Structure 1
C-alpha cells in the first residue's frame, strides 16, 4: 500500500487481533507520524474523525508516546471520548497527561452542568471522577450521580424561578428580569408556600397579562403535576404530554423543589425513547450502538435470535404434528406461509398501536375495554375481507389447475385466515398492556414475541380448520 503526504484521506487501518500487529498498517503509521511531526493537524484530524474509535485506539497504541499524546490533544471531544473508553487502563493512564485532562476540563466547563454530566457518563469511571473534581460545578455534578440513570434527578436543570405565594406580579416580573442572564429560557414561575413546598405554577405569559398588584396566590395554577427526582424519564415524558406541560417540576423526598425538566430535555427523552423502542421492536438490545464491537453485537442480538429460534422450532413442531394431513393433501403446505404472514402482520399492527398509545398516555384504564372491542371489530372486518379474497383466489386457481374439492379448501382457508387475523390482533393489542402493568417495557412485545407466538397460533389454527373443513 503506497501513500503520500498529499493524500491523507487515503489513510486506512486494518483491525488488528489482540497483541498481533499487522504489517499492512506500517505505511499508515509512518504517514501519521510524518503528519504529526509536520503539524498537519486539520488534515489528519478530519480523517481520523471518520475512523472507528477502536481503530484510532489501536493506532495510538502503536505510535511513540510523544506522538500519541500530541495527536490525542489534537482530537476534539468526539471521538476522543470514545477512544478513551476503548483504551485499557494502563494505556489510558499514560496517554491522559495533565495537559489532556485540562483540555477536557476547559471543554466541559463551558457547558451547562446537565450537558457536562451527560458527557461525563461517556468516560470510563476513573477518568470521569478525575475530570469531575477539576470542574467548577463539582458539587452539582456529584449530586447528580446519586440519582439513577434515566431518572428525573439525573436530567433535570437546577436553574429555575421560584417565588413565595405572597409575592406580587410586579415583583415576580422584576425577578424574572434579574434571572434572565442566569436562566436562558424561563417559561414557568414556581410558587412556594411558607414551608418552601411547591403549591402552584404561573406561566410567564399569564404573569405579564395580570394586574401588577395581584399576588401569585391569586393567579397561580393549583392543578399541576410534579415528579419525584427518582421518577423514570419515560414517565416524566408521559405526564408532560398528558398535561401538555412545557416544563415539569422535580421534587425531592421532602417535597421541596429541586429542579425542572426543560423542553430541551423532554425532546431529547422523546428521541431516546423512540430510538430505544425501535431497537426493541427490531429484536435488538436497547443499549446497542453503531460502533459496538463484535462481542457486544453478538451479546445484544443473540438472545433475541435464540428466542425467535425457539418460537420457530415450536411452529415447525406444530406443522410436523400434522404430517398425515400434509401427506393427504400436499396443497395445504402452500397456505402455511400465507397464514403465518397474516398472523404476524396483524399482531404487529395491533401491538404497534398499543405501544404508541401507552407511550403517549392515550390509553386510559377507563376506555381499555372499548379500545379492545374496537380492535376486535377491526380485526374481524380485516380477516373477513382477506378470507373472502383468498377464497376467490382458490376458486380462480381451481379453474386452471386441478384442485380436489376447491369449495371446501376455499372455506377452510378463508375461515382460518379470519380466525388467525382476529386472534393475532387481540394478542398484539393486549400483550403490550399486560407487560406495561407488570413493569416490562411494552416495546418488547413487538418483534420476536409477537411474531413467534402468532406463528405458532397461526399454523395450529390453520391445520385445525383444514382438518375439520377440508379433510374431514
Structure 2
C-alpha cells in the first residue's frame, strides 16, 4: 500500500531528470535499472518524454519488455511515434507480445501499413497474432476498435468444479477480472456469473443453474461515444462486446472509455474555441494554421457584416451619438449569452440528458432571457442615464434593445446545437465563434431596428 501512495505522489524534478541523463551518459546500466525499478511505468514514461530521442531509446532497450511495453502505451503520441520509428520490427513485436490485444493493436495501427505487416509477422504467439489482426479490422472509433480479446468466459454446461479449474487458466492472461461471462455452445453471450454464487455453489452444480441472465453488452460496430454513455450511465467497469448474432467477441474496460471521454472532451473544447481539427501546441505552424484559420475567416466576415450594418445607420449615429457608445455592450452581451446557452445544450446532448420538446426548451430560454435581460437593462439604465447623461428615449432604446438581444441570443444558442445534432453534425461547433459571430450580426441589426422604431430616424 505504501508503494502505491508513493507512486501516486510522483513528481518529476530537475534533479531526477539530471540523474537519469548522467547515468545514461556514463552507461551505468545497473544503477539506472535500480533507480527506475520502483517507479510506475506511467512515471517512467513521463521521464522519457523529457529526454531526447536517443536517451529515451537507450532506456527502452535497457529495461525488460514487460515494463517497456507498458511504458510505450503511456508515452506522448509524438514521442512514441519517434521511438517506434527507431526500433526494428522484431523489437516492436517483442514489446507488443507483452501487451493486451487492444493496446497491441493500437500501437500497430500507428505504424505505416507495410511496417504493420512486418511487425505482425514477427509475433511468435499465433493466437495473439490472430486476435490483433482481427482487432485491426475494426474502425478505431467503434466498440470493436476499443475492445480487448482477453476475458474470462465459461460455458453454461460446465459444472462449478470444472468452471473453477478453467477460470484459473484463463485468468492468467487477463490483467483484471471484472466479470465472468457465460456463453452457450455457439459462443453466444447469455449472461454473467457472480463470483459469490460460484464460490458458495456445490461442486457438481451446473453453471446454467446459477448464472445471471441479465447482462449489458454493446455491438461491435457501436460508436465509441455510445459505448461511453452506456458505461457511464450504468457505472460499469467493463462491458462485453458481441456481434449481430450475440456471439461474444471481447470486452471493453473503463480505462479505454476514460480515454474516449477525454479525447471527445478535448475535441469539443477545440471546436468550441474555433479550432476545426485535433491539434496540439507542439504541432507545426502549418497544421495549427489549417485548424484555426477557417473560423477566423468566418469571424472576419461576421465582423464585416456587422460593420456594414453599422455603416447603414451612420446618419443615425451622427444624430444620436450615444448609440455608438453602446455597440460593444450589445455585441458582447449577445455573444456571451449565446455561448452560455449553447454550452449548456451541448453538454446536455453529450450526456444524453436533453429531453422534452424543442418548443418547451425554447420557451424556457425565452423566460430566462427575459429575466436576465430585465436585470441587466435596469443596471444599464442607471449607468447610461447618470454616467453618460443619455436622454430618456436613448436610455429606453438601449434597455429594450438589450432585453431583446439577450432573448434572441438565448434562443439562437439553444436552437442551433439541437438543430445540428438532429442532422448528425457535432453540436460543439455551435459554441464559440459560430454563435458569437451570428449573435454579433443579429444583435447589431436588432439594436438599430429598435432604435429606429423608438427614435424615429
Normalising TM by the smaller chain, what interval? 0.7 to 0.9
Give me the TM-score of the superposition, normalised by structure 1: 0.75
Cα separation, 2, equivalents of 1:182 and 1:161: 9
* Cα displacement string for residues 338-397 of structure 1 (whole angstroms, at most 9, x for unaligned residues): 111111111111111111111112123x46554443333222211121111111211222
Cα separation, 1, equivalents of 2:303 and 2:394: 26
Q: Give 2:212's match in structure 1, choosing from 220, 225, 239.
A: 220
- Matched with 1:133 is 121
Deviation at 1:161, TM superposition (A): 2.8
Deviation at 1:229, TM superposition (A): 1.6
- Matched with 2:449 is 464
- Matched with 1:251 is 242
Is 1:409 the counterpart of 2:403? The answer is no
- Matched with 1:420 is 405
Cα separation, 2, equivalents of 1:174 and 1:40: 46
- Matched with 1:380 is 370
Cα separation, 1, equivalents of 2:416 and 2:334: 15
Cα separation, 1, equivalents of 2:194 and 2:367: 44
For residues 92-171 of structure 1, the aligned pairs below 5 Å read 100-135=88-123, 136=125, 137-165=128-156
Cα separation, 2, equivalents of 1:323 and 1:184: 71
Cα separation, 2, equivalents of 1:211 and 1:416: 78
Cα separation, 2, equivalents of 1:430 and 1:206: 51
- Matched with 2:341 is 350
Q: Any idea what SS the aligned residue of 1:149 has?
A: coil
Could you say if the C-alpha distance between residues 81 and 410 of structure 1 is closer, same or farther in structure 2, counting changes exceeding 3 Å?
Answer: closer
Contact 1:249–1:257, Cα closer than 8 Å, also in 2 = yes
Q: Any idea what SS the aligned residue of 1:333 has?
A: helix
Deviation at 1:265, TM superposition (A): 1.0
Could you say if the C-alpha distance between residues 420 and 47 of structure 1 is closer, same or farther in structure 2, counting changes exceeding 3 Å?
Answer: same
Contact 1:82–1:123, Cα closer than 8 Å, also in 2 = no
Long gaps (5+) in structure 1? 1-7, 10-34, 57-69
Deviation at 1:219, TM superposition (A): 5.6
For residues 159-308 of structure 1, the aligned pairs below 5 Å read 159-165=150-156, 176-193=167-184, 195-202=186-193, 204=195, 216=208, 220-222=212-214, 224-308=215-299
- Matched with 1:74 is 58
Matched length: 408
Cα separation, 2, equivalents of 1:368 and 1:265: 34
- Matched with 2:11 is none
Give me the TM-score of the superposition, normalised by structure 2: 0.77
- Matched with 1:453 is 438
Cα separation, 2, equivalents of 1:211 and 1:37: 62
Deviation at 1:207, TM superposition (A): 6.2
Could you say if the C-alpha distance between residues 391 and 117 of structure 1 is closer, same or farther in structure 2, counting changes exceeding 3 Å?
Answer: same
Contact 1:169–1:216, Cα closer than 8 Å, also in 2 = no
Is 1:395 the counterpart of 2:375? The answer is no
Deviation at 1:111, TM superposition (A): 1.9
- Matched with 2:66 is none
Could you say if the C-alpha distance between residues 181 and 311 of structure 1 is closer, same or farther in structure 2, counting changes exceeding 3 Å?
Answer: same
